[in-house]
Amino acid sequence: MNNIMTTISNMQRSLATTRQMDVFKFINKHIEKKHVAPTIPEISKKLKINSYSVVHRHLRELQKKGYIHREKGKRQSMILLRKLDGSSII
């Protein structure tokens, strides 16, 4: 029973929330259209998120869950690791 609960817990951690998926979809579309990742202010404005720290939290979670990769200290350095359907790109 413990193994089943651990597996379910791990699966839930790897699934993005609805809001995180909104951020991920916007990043995906922005990269397709402009060939560069959006900035934090662009994400905030488009998705009507009033706080940059909330955008940062969503991006951290998306990175933890394996949707994106970001390099520290580099602006607009997001790499998509999954497609919109959730399947792996790499």
pLDDT, tens digit, for every residue of 80-90? 998 877 777 76
DSSP state, 75? T
Q: How confident is the model at residue 72 (pLDDT cuts 50, 70, 90)?
A: confident
Residues 6+ apart with CB under 8 A from 75: 39
Q: Is the pTM of this model over 0.75?
A: yes
Distance, C-alpha 80 to centroid of its chain: 8
Cα radius of gyration (the chain)? 14
The whole-number average pLDDT for the span 29-53 is: 96
pLDDT at 7: 40
Q: Is the model's pLDDT at 22 over the cut of 70? A: yes
* Alpha-helical regions (H) of 1-90: 2-14, 18-34, 40-46, 52-64
25-29, 54-58, 60-64, 81-85: least confidently modelled range: 81-85
CA 90 to CA 68: how far, in whole Å? 11
Q: What is the token pair recorded at 33?
A: 């259209």
The whole-number average pLDDT for the span 21-39 is: 95
